[in-house]
Amino acid sequence: MADTRYQARVDDLITHFWKNGYLTVSRKYGKFLPEPKPIGEYEVDAIGKLKKKFALGIVLTEEELNNPKIYSKLNYLATRQTKYSNKQITLFVGVPQDMLNKARVVVSGLEESVKRNIKLIGVDENKLT
C-alpha cells in the first residue's frame, strides 16, 4: 500500500515537471524510462530536461521532513550543476499537501542561493491511480 501511495506521489511530481515544460529523462516506477542513478549518496525520484536546463525531483515523506539530515540533503541536491555548462539545476520537492507548511519552514532554514533552486510542490497523498 505504501508503495502505491509513493508511486502516486512520483506521478504527481512528473505531472508538475510537464506543467513546467520539462521532459522526463528518467523516473522511478516508470514503465519505459530508466530509474535515475543516485546523486551523491541521495536517491532522486525523477530527472527532467528543458532545452539545456535540468531538474531533479524528489518526494519527501513526513518522516524525512522531521529528520534533521533533510537540510544537508536539500542543500546538496539544490546546489548541483550540469556537468559541462555548470548551470544550476532546479530541485522540485514534492511533499504531502498537509506537510507543505512544514516543508516551507525547512526550506526557509537554507541559504538564499539554495532556496532559489528549490520549488516546493504539494502532492496529493490520497489520490491513488
Do 46 and 17 contact (CB within 8 A), yes or no?
Answer: yes
Helix (H) / strand (E) containing 87: none
User: Considering only CA atoms, which of 85, 98, 19 is closest in space to residue 57?
Assistant: 19
Q: In the CATH scheme, what architecture does the domain 2-123 have? A: 3-Layer(aba) Sandwich (3.40)
Residue 47 has a pLDDT of 94
Nearest-angstrom CA–CA distance, 33 and 117: 25
Domain extents in the chain? 2-123
Bridge-based pairing state of the strands 53-59 and 46-50: antiparallel
Render pLDDT for 13-23 as a digit per residue (tens, 0 to 9): 999 999 999 99
**Is the pTM of the predicted complex or chain greater than 0.75?**
yes
pLDDT tens for the chain, 129 residues: list them. 457 888 888 999 999 999 999 999 999 988 889 999 999 899 999 999 998 899 999 999 888 998 989 999 999 999 988 888 888 899 999 998 888 999 999 999 899 989 999 999 988 765 544
